[in-house]
Amino acid sequence: AGGGCSLPGSGKTLMPGEGYEGVAKFVLDLMTSYGLNACPPLLVGVGIATSIDTAAAMSKKALMRPVSSKAENEKAAYMEQLLEDGINALHIGPQGMGGDKSVMGVNIEHGSRHPSVISVAVNVGCWNHRRGHVVFDKDGKYEILSHKGVTF
């Protein structure tokens, strides 16, 4: 990601009592403050873990999931939907001009954590978020699986 869609990127370790409600508040506060400048509709990656560095890596990993995918964990999938609905309810809209569709999706990746801490990180991809699939062998040769005929 780069440019405007990097503006909402942030992380925080929450107080134990804030729990997952605190995660939702953190994500929604970021989108309220910076989502307008991040070239919406957005893809929002959320990482939840014990430490900020792990949560940040997980939020980037979440961005690499297909847009229409849902978390395997039912509770995480439910939270993805709640956050997507909440961000869309902000009515930021495409290119910040207002409207019902502010996000293409919210993807959550989570790891094990200690009960006394919950770290959350958010990274965002803008409307033209791209992903590809390249496989390298041990000799450095590669095959681009997602974009046939394209070479480096």
C-alpha torsion sign, points 2, 44, 109, 69: negative
pLDDT tens per residue across span 21-72: 999 999 999 999 988 888 889 999 999 999 999 999 999 999 999 888 999 9
Domain boundaries, the chain: 3-144
pTM for this model (two decimals): 0.85
To the nearest 5 percent, what fractions of the chain are helix, strand and coil? Answer: 35, 25, 40
